[in-house]
Amino acid sequence: MSSAPFVRIAELPAHAGQQVVIRGWVTHVRSSGKIAFAVIRDGTGTCQTVFVKTQLPTEVWERFSQLTTETSVAIEGEARAEPRAPGGFEIGVTSLAIIGPSPIDYPIQPKEHGIDFLLDNRHFWLRSPRQRAIAVIRSEIEQAIHDFFYERGFLRVDTPILTAAIGERSGLFATEYFDEGNAYLAQTGQLYGEAAAAAFGKIYTFGPTFRAEKSKTRRHLTEFWMIEPEVAWNDSAANMVLQEDFVAYLVQRVLERRAPELAELERDVTKLQAVKVPFVRLDYAEAVAIVQRKGSATVWGDDLGAEDEALIVADYDRPVFVMNYPKEAKAFYMKENPDDPRTVLCNDCLAPEGYGEIIGGSQREDDYDKLLARITAEGLPLDAYNWYLDLRRYGTFTHAGFGLGLERTVAWICGLQHIREVIAFPRMMHRLRP
């Protein structure tokens, strides 16, 4: 290689007509005796490289024949605009160095593979264009989340992963913690978020959460990422306005900035363009009436299952809030509804197209006695919740917040069937490797 500058494929347009070096992996090769092509992928894009036998030293031409799928290479040549090539550029090769050969038994071949095989080879599967598109959209959404809250003056607060037993109802992962007994991997950052809201006003957390749920559905992971804003002085109505602004912002951001990746995934973007505020608002009782009319056996008092959620959203082109569930169906920390004390001031946000719950949110119980009664009634260990009750003892305050599941949101925006593809290395009941 000469002293030509090393350039990422996405930056080639700025180097038209210049001699450059690109580095990457071979996705495929073809040759017709006198002219040969290797398509190179570097994570920022793909680029066709052109080898012309009569214009190359013999050893460079011969080296081409060693290129197999996923061989890593450095290639030097002239960057040329070529409208017919993917990405619009190609390299007229002058030099080729093989960095790392790749045996011909590379596991992922251009044919149909079963999902278990692909997940076993997740470390390679990530190299496919489709997986790259998903990763790019996920990253765009993560950045948009930070931007949304930053623009609105929220403070990001990082809450602990190792906790004493507090959180949601579903299963806990335990690990020994010195002389303190068991520590549990956090199921939510919310309770710490509430303490932070009293200190800082408007906060959000963005962290991994863990649930030892034995669910093998297309929307459950044992490790997933959750974004949990908590806002002092917001009530349940203000909480929903924040949610719809937030979700609409994320969708709009992906539409504006990630059209090529949505196209790679063959996403029907008209479905995303319909996601506008205000979202639909249904009382829990109305939602139950809708699903019953459509044949569901759900009765007042039940939580709504995935099938019920699909029945509800089928009538709408935008997300739906189901509000004010019965107490028994929801967590202890939700505020009793003064208009109907059998229910709590909460909402789930259901994504369109059958994706179901992407957000759970509520106004929090700020009455000390009522909260204590709920904690006791649920048989929760009081000593673990004393500090949480303190927030109601010393300067209690109206507050509300919610948790958005990142993987479910990304799966919906990408239009994927299962959330396992949305995270680089998914953790599920039967999967801990790679």
Residues linked to residue 52 through DSSP beta bridges, in sequence order: 35
CA distance 373 to 375: 6
24 binds ligand 4AD, rule: CB under 6 A: no
Minimum CB–partner distance for residue 218 and ligand 4AD (Å): 10
Does position 167 interact with Mg ion (CB under 5 A)? The reply is no
321 strand-pairing partners: 281, 349
Q: Does 426 bind ligand 4AD (CB under 6 A)?
A: no
The verdict on whether omega for the bond into residue 434 sits within 30 degrees of 0, i.e. cis, is yes
Candidate list 326, 360, 361, 401; residue touching Mg ion; CB under 5 A: 360
Is residue 166 a contact point for ligand 4AD (CB under 6 A)?
no
Taking CB under 6 A as the criterion, which residues in 180-199 touch ligand 4AD?
A: 188, 190
Token pair recorded at residue 28: 């495929």
- Nearer Cβ to Mg ion (309/336): 309
* Residue 405 in the binding site for Mg ion (CB under 5 A): no
Out of 361, 388, 414, 426, the residue judged to bind ligand 4AD by CB under 6 A: 361
Please identify, using beta-carbon distances, which residue of 227 and 272 lies nearer to Mg ion. Answer: 227
The distance of closest approach from Cβ of residue 330 to ligand 4AD in the complex, given in angstroms and rounded to an integer, is: 9
CA–CA distance, 196 with 207 (Å, rounded to integer) = 15
Q: Which three-class secondary structure state does DSSP give residue 143?
A: helix
User: Does residue 356 interact with Mg ion by CB under 5 A?
Assistant: no
Stretch that binds ligand 4AD, among 174-182, 300-308, 356-364, 367-375 (CB under 6 A): 356-364
φ, ψ (nearest 5 deg) of residue 51? -110, 120
Shortest approach of ligand 4AD to residue 297 CB, angstroms? Answer: 23
Q: E strands along 186-256, which residues?
A: 202-210, 223-232
Residues 101-160 within binding reach of ligand 4AD (CB under 6 A): none
The site partner of 326 among Mg ion, ligand 4AD, none (C-beta below 5 to 8 Å per kind) is: none
β-sheet bridge partners, residue 322: 282, 348
Q: How far is the CB of 167 from ligand 4AD (least distance, A)?
A: 7
Chosen residue from 184, 204, 402, 412 binding ligand 4AD by CB under 6 A:
402
Task: Point out the residue whose Cβ comes nearest to ligand 4AD.
Answer: 405
309 binds ligand 4AD (CB under 6 A): no
SS3 at position 222: coil
The yes or no reply on residue 327 touching ligand 4AD (CB under 6 A) is no
75 vs 358, beta carbon nearer ligand 4AD:
358
Put the strands of the sheet holding 280-283 in their side by side order.
155-156, 202-210, 223-232, 399-405, 356-363, 346-351, 320-323, 280-283
Report if residue 168 touches ligand 4AD, rule: CB under 6 A.
Answer: yes
Burial 30-60, CB ≥16 within 10 A → b, else e:
eeeeeebbbbbbbebbbbbbbbeeeebeeeb
CA–CA–CA angle 214, 296, 340 (5° rounding): 90
Instruction: Using CB under 6 A, pick the residue from 136, 320, 358, 428 that binds ligand 4AD.
Output: 358
- Tell whether residue 401 is a contact of ligand 4AD (CB under 6 A): yes
> Which regions of 123-257 does DSSP assign to beta strands (E)?
155-156, 162-163, 174-176, 182-185, 202-210, 223-232
Which residue do the tokens 């000593």 mark?
Answer: 383
Tokens of 403: 């948790």
Closest by Cα among 393, 144, 355, 133 to 262: 133
Under the binding rule (CB under 6 A), the answer on residue 226 touching ligand 4AD is: yes
Residues that bind ligand 4AD (CB under 6 A): 168, 188, 190, 211, 213, 220-221, 224, 226, 228, 357-362, 401-403, 405, 407-408
